[in-house]
Amino acid sequence: MSANIAKRRLDYQRATYQVQQIELEFELHPTATRVLAVSQLQRHVVGADTLWLDGQQLTLVSLQVNGVEWSQKTQNDDGILLSGLPEQFELKVRTVLDPAANSALEGLYLSNGAYCTQCEAEGFRRITFYPDRPDVMAVFTTHIIANDSIPFLLSNGNLIAKHQLADGRVRVSWHDPFPKPSYLFALVAGDFDELCGDFVTQSGRQVALKFYVDKGQGAKATFALEALKRAMRFDEEVYGLEYDLDIYMVVAVDFFNMGAMENKGLNVFNSKFVLADAATATDTDYFNIESIIAHEYFHNWTGNRVTCRDWFQLSLKEGLTVFRDQQFSAAMGSATLCRIDAVKTIRTAQFAEDASPMAHPIRPDVVEEMNNFYTVTVYDKGAEVIRMQHTLLGAEGFRRGMDLYFQRHDGQAVTCDDFLAAMQDANQVDLGQFSLWYSQSGTPELTAKLEQTSTGVQLHLQQQTPATADQPNKQPVLLPLRYELHDANGRIETGILQCSGAQQVFCFDGLKMPVVPVLLADFSAPVKLNYAYQTDELLYLCQHAHDGVARWDAMQQLWSDLVRQSVQQQQIATIPAQMLDVLRQFIQQPLADLAFTAELLTLPGYDTLAEQYAEIPVEMILSALEHYQQQLAETFAADWLALYQRLLPVPYVYTEQQVGLRALRNTALRYLLRCNNTPASLWQQQYTEADNMTDKLAVLQGLVRAGHAETSRMLQQFLQQHGDNVQLFDKHSALVASIGDNSVFGLMDMVAQTALFDWKNPNRVRALYAVFGQQNPAMFHQADGEGYQRLTSVIAKADSINPQLASRLVTPLLSFRRFAPKRQALMRQALEQLSQQQLSPDLSEKLGKALHG
Ligand code: TRP
Ligand code: ZN
C-alpha cells in the first residue's frame, strides 16, 4: 500500500537552486535508454545548501557535482536530497530507463515503436533526477543518439546540428532558447509521414509547420494543419500574440493518456485529435480537432511563456486556455452552439464533481496525486471563471488585463493571484470578492423572484452555496447576471447585474408585470438558478428570448420540469398541448440555424437531469426520458419524415451549414428509428449511401438508442467492414458500450477479446469502459449491481498498467452517496472490494476520499 502524502498550496517554498541551463543526451534503446543530464545551477535562497532532486523509477548510474561523484546525498523512492552544495555548480547525472516497460505513458515510453515523452505534470522525474517543479525554468539543449533506421529525432526548439557518429549512429541536437519548466520538455523519435506547411506571422516571420503521423496517414493531418493556421491568426488578431520559434511541430501518437500536450515547439497529440477524413471522422471529431489544436497552440503564451509557479495554480494556464479555445471555436462557427456545449459540460460533469467526494476549488488547496487534478473543475469551471472576468470587464477591459499580464510576467512562473492582479490593475477595479471563485468549491444556487412595486419591478435574488466534501462553509461570490426582462407592454430591458450579496434587490423602473425574465443569459455564471417559471413563460422564452442559449435553456427547463413532476407523482407527467404545438412548429419550420433547431428538439440528457436531484431517481429519469422521446417520435412521425426528406444530403465538407444540416437531419432520423412504421430502407439507404462517417454513425447510434432489433447485426457488419481502423474500432466499442439491455455485458466481453483491443492503449479502454460507466446509465446502474462490478474489475486491471487511466474510469462510482440506499450499498461494496487491492496513489487518493472522507 502506498502511503500518499498530501501537499498543500500554502506550504509553497521557493526552490533552493535555479537551473540556468540543462544539456540532455539520450542514447535511445527500447529497454535501456541512457540519459546524461548536465545542468548549471545557481543558489536561489540565501544560505541554502541543499537541493531536492525528484526521480522515480530510474536506475541511477552516477551523480556528480562539479565533476566529483557526490556523496552528500540521501535517496528514497521519490528522489535524492543533495547537501553541502556550493553557490554555483554543474550537476551531471547519468540514468538508465526502460521505455518498453513503461505502460503508464508518463516519462519516456514507446507508442507503436516510436519513442515519445509525456512530462506534465510530474513525468520528467522518470527521465532524470531533477528539480521537477514548474518554477524551475531552464534553457534546454537536447542531443538524441539513435540508429539511422529512425528517420525523425525531434525535441523542443530549433534543430542546431545533425551528424553521423563513428559507430554509424546519428546524433541530432535541438536548442530551445526560451527558459522553460521540465514539464514542457519533449522528445519524439520514430518513423512517420511528415506533412509540412508554413505560416507568416503578423510581423512577417516565417514559421515552418510540421505534422508527424503514422506512415500512410499524412493526408489525414491536412485539416489539423489548416486549423493550426487559423488558430495562429486568431491569436494575433484577438490578443496580438505571435508565435516565437521558427518551427512548430505536432506529433500524433496512438498511446496517450489525454487529448494533447503543449510541449514547447513540439506538441504531442492523441492521434484521434489529429487524424481526420470524411470516411473516418465525424463532424464532432472535426470540431474537437480544431479546438484542441487551438488549445495547445494558445498554451504557447498562456502556459509556456507565462507558466505556473506550482501545480495548485494549474487553472492559471488551463482555465485561461480553455476560455481562449472556446472563444476561437465560437469565432469559427456558431457561438451559440459552442456555448451550449460548454454549458452541458458544466451542468453534467462539473456540477457532479462539485457534489462528489473529489470536490475542489479551481485552485485546489490539497493534492496527493497531481494527475488527479486535471479535472473538469480546473479546466472548464476555470474557463467559466475567466469568462466571468471577460463579462465583467468587457472585451476591451479583458484585453487590457491580458496585455498587462504578459507585460509583467513574460518568462515567469506565476500564480492565479498574479493574473487577477493584472486584470484588476489594468481596469482599476476591485476583484477581491470575485477572487473567491478561485478558493471556494461548490455550485452556487441562485433563487430569483420578481415583484411589482409602485414605480416598476423588483428582482429579488438570494445566493447560497451548499457545503461540499472539502469545505463546510461558503460565502457569497460576485457573479455577472446577464438578463433580459420582457414586460407586459412588450418592453424588453437587457443588461448585466453584479450579484454579490446573500440577498439583493434590483429595481427596474417603468417595467410592468407580468414580466418574463431571462436570468443568466448566455449562462453568464456557472451556477444553478431557481425561478418559478410557468410553462407558458418558458414556451414564450424558447421562441422569443434574444439570447440563443436562453431559448435552448427554456426548452430544457420545460423538459426537466416534466421529469421532476413525474418523479414527484411517481407517474409520467403529460406533455402540455401548447408545448407539443411549439415543438411541432420547430419541426415544421426549422429556424435558419439548423444545428440550433436540432438542439431545441433534443431532450436534456440523463446526466443533466440527474444533477438536479440530491438523491438521483435513476429509474424515473430514464423511463421519463424514454417515454417522452417515444411520444415525440410517434406524435410527429409524419413531420419527422417530411423534415428528413427535405434536408437532402450533400457531398461531404466540414462547414457550419453542412454540420447543421446533418445535425437536424440525424435528429429527425433518431426519432424515425423509434417509429414502427419507418421502413428499414430509409435508414439502410442512409447507411450505405453516406459518403461520410457522421451520417453512418448517426444510423448506428439511432439504432442503439432506439433499442432497434437490427442493432447487433449492424454493429457486427460495421466491425467487419471497418474494424481494422483503430478510430473506427473505437467508435464500434463506444456503440457496443451504450447498448441499453442485458446483452451489453457479453458484447463488451467480445470486444475486449478482439485482436485490436489492447489494455495498454487508453483510447481502446476508454472507448469501451469509460463510455459504459459514463454514457450508459441504464446498464451501469442496473439494479443488481452488475454494472458496478464490471467497471471495478476493469479498473483493477487497468490500475496495474496505467494509473492515470484507471483513476479516470472510477469517477462515476465516487458519487455513490447520491443514490438510494440499496444502490448506494452496491456501489460502495464494489469500491470497497477495489480498495482491498494494491492500488496506485491515483486511485488511493480518490477511494480514500470517497470511502473515508
Ligand atoms: N496540458 C495538457 C493540456 O491541457 C494536458 C495534460 C496534462 C496531459 N497532463 C497530461 C496530456 C498528461 C497528456 C498526458 O492540453
Ligand atoms: Zn491545456
Domains of the chain (ranges; CATH) run 445-538 (2.60.40.1840)
The rounded Å distance from CA 222 to ligand 2 centre is 22
Element housing 823 (H / E)? helix 821-835
Q: What are phi and psi of 507, to 5 degrees?
A: -110, 140
Cell of 556: 430544457
CB 520 within 8 A of CB 547: no
Report which of 782, 719, 784 is spatially closest to residue 747, judged by C-alpha positions: 719
Query: Is the Cβ atom of 380 under 6 angstroms away from ligand 1?
Result: no
Q: Which pLDDT belongs to residue 2?
A: 42
The rounded Å distance from CA 320 to ligand 2 centre is 9
Name the residue of 102, 103, 119, 120 to mutate for ligand 1: max ligand atoms within 8 A of Cβ: 120
Distance of CA 766 to CAs 35, 76, 374, 761, 779, Å?
Answer: 33, 34, 17, 9, 17
Tell me if the bond preceding 121 is cis, omega within 30° of 0.
yes
From the list 296, 318, 384, 537, the catalytic residue is 296
Cα 602 from Cα 406, distance rounded (Å): 43
End-to-end Cα spacing for the chain: 18
Query: Is the Cβ atom of 325 under 6 angstroms away from ligand 1?
Result: no
Half-sphere exposure of 321 (CA within 13 A, CB side): 28
Q: What are phi and psi of 668, to 5 degrees?
A: -60, -45
The rounded Å distance from CA 140 to ligand 1 centre is 20
Q: What are phi and psi of 339, to 5 degrees?
A: -65, -40
Query: Is the Cβ atom of 122 under 6 angstroms away from ligand 1?
Result: no
State how far Cα 580 lies from the chain centre: 36
Mean of pLDDT over the chain: 98
Q: What is the DSSP string of 242-309?
A: ---SSEEEEEEES--SSSEE--TTEEEEEGGGT---TTT--HHHHHHHHHHHHHHHHTTTBTTTBEES
Angle (CA) 220-222-225 rounded to 5° is 130
Query: Is the Cβ atom of 120 under 6 angstroms away from ligand 1?
Result: yes
Query: Is the Cβ atom of 260 under 6 angstroms away from ligand 1?
Result: yes
Write the residue with the smallest CA distance to atom 6 of ligand 1.
261
Q: Which residues of the chain have pLDDT under 50?
A: 1-2
Query: Is the Cβ atom of 373 under 6 angstroms away from ligand 1?
Result: no
Tell me if the bond preceding 514 is cis, omega within 30° of 0.
yes
CB 343 within 8 A of CB 549: yes
Cell of 260: 494533447
Q: Which pLDDT belongs to residue 712?
A: 96
SS (H, E, C) 197-216: EEEECCCCCEEEEEEEECCC
Cα 222 from Cα 708, distance rounded (Å): 37
Cα 302 from Cα 320, distance rounded (Å): 7
**Which residue type sits at 270?**
N
CB 104 within 8 A of CB 804: yes
Name the residue of 258, 297, 300 to mutate for ligand 1: max ligand atoms within 8 A of Cβ: 258
User: Of all residues in the chain, what percent are helix, strand and coil, respectively (each to 5)?
Assistant: 45, 20, 35
Of ligand 1's listed atoms, the one at least distance from the Cα of 295 is 15
Write the residue with the smallest CA distance to atom 9 of ligand 1.
120
Query: Is the Cβ atom of 257 under 6 angstroms away from ligand 1?
Result: yes
Strand partners, 483: 495, 519
Q: Which pLDDT belongs to residue 759?
A: 98
Q: Angle at which helices 656-672 and 680-689 pack, to 10 degrees? A: 150
Write down the pTM of the prediction. 0.99
Of ligand 1's listed atoms, the one at least distance from the Cα of 371 is 9
CB 264 within 8 A of CB 177: no
Q: Which pLDDT belongs to residue 3?
A: 58
Name the residue of 261, 308, 377 to mutate for ligand 1: max ligand atoms within 8 A of Cβ: 261
CB 112 within 8 A of CB 160: no
Report which of 353, 237, 175 is spatially closest to residue 818, judged by C-alpha positions: 353
The rounded Å distance from CA 177 to ligand 2 centre is 22
Write the residue with the smallest CA distance to atom 15 of ligand 1.
261
Cα four-point dihedral sign 712, 716, 721, 726? positive
Write the residue with the smallest CA distance to atom 13 of ligand 1.
258
User: pLDDT tens across 91-119, in order?
Assistant: 999 999 999 999 999 999 999 999 999 99
Of ligand 1's listed atoms, the one at least distance from the Cα of 296 is 15
Of ligand 1's listed atoms, the one at least distance from the Cα of 318 is 4
Give yes or no: 296 in active site: yes
Contacts within 8 Å (CB) and 24+ apart, 828-835: 829/785, 829/788, 830/785, 830/788, 830/789, 830/791, 830/792, 831/792, 833/792, 834/792, 834/795, 834/796, 834/810
Query: Is the Cβ atom of 261 under 6 angstroms away from ligand 1?
Result: yes
Of ligand 1's listed atoms, the one at least distance from the Cα of 299 is 15
CB atoms within 10 A of CB 504: 16
What does the buried/exposed string (b/e) look like for 555-570 if buried means 16 or more CB atoms within 10 Å of the residue's CB? bbbbbbbbbbebbeee
State how far Cα 712 lies from the chain centre: 31
Write the residue with the smallest CA distance to atom 7 of ligand 1.
120
Report which of 514, 483, 510 is spatially closest to residue 499, judged by C-alpha positions: 483
CB 357 within 8 A of CB 469: yes
Of ligand 1's listed atoms, the one at least distance from the Cα of 121 is 9
Query: Is the Cβ atom of 318 under 6 angstroms away from ligand 1?
Result: yes
